[in-house]
Amino acid sequence: MNRKMQVAALLGATMLGTSAWAQETDEIIVLSSPFKKAATEVISTTEILTAEDIEGSIDGPLGNLLDNLPGVSSAGYGPAVGQPVIRGVGGYRVDVMQNSMTIGDISSTSGDHTNTMSLFDTERVEVLKGPAALRYGAYAATGVVNGFNRHLNADTEEGTDVLFGFGDNADETITGVFTRQGRFSLSAFSQDADNITIPTNGETEAYHARECEHKQEVDPAHVCPAYTDEGEQEAANTESETTGFAAAGHFGDDETNLSVMLSSQEMDYIVPHEHKHKDQDNAEAQDDAEAQDDAEAQDDAEAEEEHGAEISLEQQTIHARLMHNSPIGPFNGFRADLTSTTFEQSEIVEEEISGQDVEVTTDFDRESLNLRGEFTGAFNDWQTLVGFAYRDDKFTSKSSAGDHGFFIPDTDSTSIGLFAFGERDYGVWLAELAVRFDNVEAEAEYDGTLSSPSFDLTNISTGLARKLDGNLLIGGSVSSTERAPSPTELFAEGSHHAVGRIELGSDKLNKETSLSAELYVRKAWENGRLRVAIFSNDYSDFIYLTGNTDFSEDDINCSEDDTVCFDYAQQDAELTGYELEYKTGFDVGGRMVDATFSYSSVEGELANGGNLPAIPADKIGFGIGTTFNTIDVQLDVEQVADQNDTGEEELATDGYTSVDISASYQPPAYEGLTLSASIRNLTDEEIRHHTSPLKDKLPEPGQDIRLTARYKF
């Protein structure tokens, strides 16, 4: 069955089933929407994860938490990194926010940089797409991920929350404490994990064969050892450690109030370059060492197996929010958010420079200031929000290798934005309209001269939906968006040591434009809901990384056999796909059972007929949960298809079936205590995400048994 027939069948099943479903529904309020409306009344597409959904995933990166949502994937780079990918795109096209403000890390500059959102303190995560996303930037065609920290919630209940957790796969320990007393709150969190255990070899057989071919092209006499599956093993260079602290206070009254939050986080992790084995690519080095019976040579041979970049980061953020809930001129309220973030990251990696092994240290520093002010009111039956945004970023980088360590030059970036958003309820019709104007400037020394490109951006998005009987909503949205090239895309020129490649930007890049459309059907009733969506995103001047073997300048020669170079290039592209999500509850023998089913598919193609790289494979999700006496149990199964639609230099990725089970128990004699146990990857499946840059070098962790105790009092 082709894509169009599948979509028609899904829509047909939805329409035929509407008359049989009950009309009552439980309202789920969308906090990222300007007017805090129920999800059934918001045209912009929204996915919501509650505190209960987050609790089981506070140990992992953000992308892992979101990966089970339809249309959302994770681009991992080892167990400490998992960046969200929405409908096939990520990086600068997806903004990750905390309390509706950009976090201020450097995760979007490269796939090996992690998001710094603290999931322990996060009580809700929303993924917002469509017109309402223009409130935060040029994200109507892609989306924003918005995490809501309980510290900044003035309505958080008083009390204390203590957490202890353990995961056996990486001997991982987690501890956390949060307390709210009166108007003040305080929390601390720590996580320590050793190397993960993987169910099979680090590298795939296809990758092993391709690397062998490359070596034989350089040296025809080179003999590659046979590929053998060594089974379960420890993956070197995958350990991590995180500590965090946050505090907040709330001042004022219901009319005018000020909330201030201070947060600090430190994290150490290793980016694994490759995970190889003695009897494979390093077999020759081992044989030489054994033949010489030389202990030092043996050590050198084993050291060849250790590949990784040690990354240490620190981040401090101050977030202040002012709310005024009384009329100001024609408006009925005002809100202002201000964040100031200092971020430092150090990367240490051993490389061969001028024939010698050298330990290269690269330091990245970012200081960012973000301000957004918003006025709300009602004009001619339109609920209206108008606002302004200002962002100032100072980014610096330096390397112990001098020019050899140059990746992104020191950059100053500023952006000024004006935006307006309106909603109107015509009774049976809902309408949304958003417009945003931005000026983005970036300045850096590039190619030996001062470069300061500037971009004027206009973004418009509108949506219309029809309300039908039985809580049925049929509608769609159209968005025209423009995105300025990022500083990395504009100015990168040099070695990015942590990922082992040279990246080459261009300050001649044009702004990236897109025309996107979405059609959907939504149904809500007492014990469930259904959503079916079809989307298309047509890009002009889409910016992407592509291989370059022709560049040669100064100390960079991309024609050398051991040099891996990538250009930031532009070409028209198109992304299309569809999503289905169905949640329901039903009675089985007097026991309530909750069930979920989801399906998502996305395709990406360049104008020259080639495939976009790192497009996620089709996936089906199924979950079922119920309660036995005082024990809640849950089974989740995800089936991911093979991905054979590969981009340039990409290898195909095998599909997999992931099975997770969990149970939680609240002892009646100990009010507030919750004991949880879960097994992730129950069948010890070999899991590789096609969106992961490391997919051919390192699979996801194998079976992981986890125990957690949480006490709230």
* pLDDT score for 24: 41
**659-710 pLDDT, tens per residue?**
999 999 999 999 999 999 999 999 999 999 999 989 999 999 999 999 999 9
How many percent of the chain have pLDDT more than 90?
Answer: 66
State the pLDDT at residue 196: 96
Mean per-residue pLDDT, 229-258: 95
33 vs 616, more confident? 616
269 part of a folded domain: yes
Domain membership of residue 206 (yes or no) is no
pLDDT at 516 over 50: yes
Supply the pLDDT for residue 566.
Answer: 84
Residue 227 falls inside a structural domain: no
Task: Out of 382-391, 496-505, 589-598, pick the least confident.
Answer: 496-505
pLDDT category at 354 given cuts 50, 70, 90 is low
- Average pLDDT in the 50-60 region? 89
pTM of this structure: 0.89
Residue 623 has pLDDT above 90, yes or no: yes
The answer to whether position 467 is within a domain reads yes
Which residue is associated with the tokens 């509407």? Answer: 18
Is residue 478, in this structure, part of any structural domain at all? Answer: yes
Greater pLDDT, 274 or 122 = 122
pLDDT(428) > 50? yes
In degrees and rounded to multiples of 5, residue 138 shows phi and psi of -85, 60
> Distance from CA of residue 25 to its chain's centroid?
30
Query: For residue 23, what pLDDT is reported?
Result: 37
Task: Using pLDDT thresholds of 50, 70 and 90, give the confidence band for residue 557.
Answer: low
Instruction: Enter the DSSP assignment of 9.
Output: H
Helix ranges (H only) for 128-280 are 205-218
Please determine, for residue 11, whether its predicted confidence score (pLDDT) is greater than 60: no
| pLDDT at residue 300 in the model | 45
- Residue pLDDT, tens place only, 490-507: 998 877 766 777 888 899
Residue 228 lies in a domain: no
Q: Which residue has the higher pLDDT, 705 or 56?
A: 705
Amino acid at 38: A
Tens of pLDDT, residue by residue over 639-654, are 999 999 999 889 999 9
d(CA 586, CA 625): 11
- 295 in a domain, yes or no? no
Helix, strand, coil distribution of the chain in percent, nearest 5: 15, 55, 35
Are 446 and 507 in contact by the 8 Å Cβ rule? The answer is: yes
Average pLDDT, the chain: 87
Q: Which of 460, 466, 458, 414 is nearest to 438 (CA)?
A: 458
CA atoms within 13 A on the CB side of 285: 17
**Overall average pLDDT of the 239-264 stretch:** 96
Q: Is the pLDDT of residue 108 over 50?
A: yes
Q: Into how many domains does the chain fold?
A: 1
pLDDT, mean of residues 621-644: 96
- CATH code: domain of residue 458: 2.40.170.20
Nearest 10 degrees: Cα torsion 556, 558, 563, 567: 100
d(CA 487, CA 506): 10
Alpha-carbon span 15 to 24, nearest angstrom: 18
The span from the CA of 148 to the CA of 163, in Å, is: 19
Lowest mean pLDDT among 230-244, 372-386, 482-496: 482-496
Q: Which range marks the domain in which residue 482 is found?
A: 3-196+235-273+307-712
The alpha carbons of the chain give a radius of gyration, in whole angstroms, of 26
- Kindly tell me the burial class for residue 53, based on how many C-beta atoms sit within 10 Å of its own C-beta (0-12, 13-18, 19 or more): middle
Most confident of 78-92, 275-289, 632-646: 632-646
Q: Is the pLDDT of residue 598 over 50?
A: yes
Q: Give the span between the Cα atoms of 191 and 173, in whole angstroms.
A: 6
Q: What is the pLDDT of residue 556?
A: 65
Which of 15-29, 203-217, 378-392 is most confident?
A: 378-392
